[in-house]
Amino acid sequence: MKRTPQSSITALLEGVEQAKQRKEFNILKDLKELRGNFGKIQKRDYLALIDKLMEKYSVDEAAVIHAALLKKCQAGDMDAIRLWNEMQKESGSGVAEVHIIDNF
């Protein structure tokens, strides 16, 4: 079976999706792949590939890191808990702070 440009593009997009499902985050590999395909595929398809990679790294990688941090917090890792609290404060997600007022 002869490989067509469209089948190559489909294979690239499927490869990105499979790596995402395996939680494989190798940005250097992905950048090399982008560079290798520059000029070989249509602009629309190249941009679709970039969009998929952006989603992979902005949403999926962050979710994996978040899950790992939560797991450490649940295990009682104090450094992880401190990091979690700092992140919550920075994002303003409603972590309650306790202020002790001593009038004595």
- Model confidence over 33-85: pLDDT tens digits? 888 888 888 899 889 888 988 888 777 777 778 888 888 888 988 988 888 88
93 or 45, which is more confident: 45
What are the start-end ranges of the H helices in the chain? 5-21, 27-37, 43-55, 61-74, 78-91
CA distance 68 to 2: 43
C-alpha to C-alpha distances, 93 to 10, 64, 71, 85, 97, nearest whole angstrom = 39, 19, 19, 10, 12
Overall pTM > 0.85 = no
- Indicate the domain borders of the chain: 5-91
Task: Supply angle C-alpha 4, 8, 25, rounded to 5.
Answer: 180
CA distance 10 to 52: 12
The reported pLDDT for the residue numbered 12 is: 64
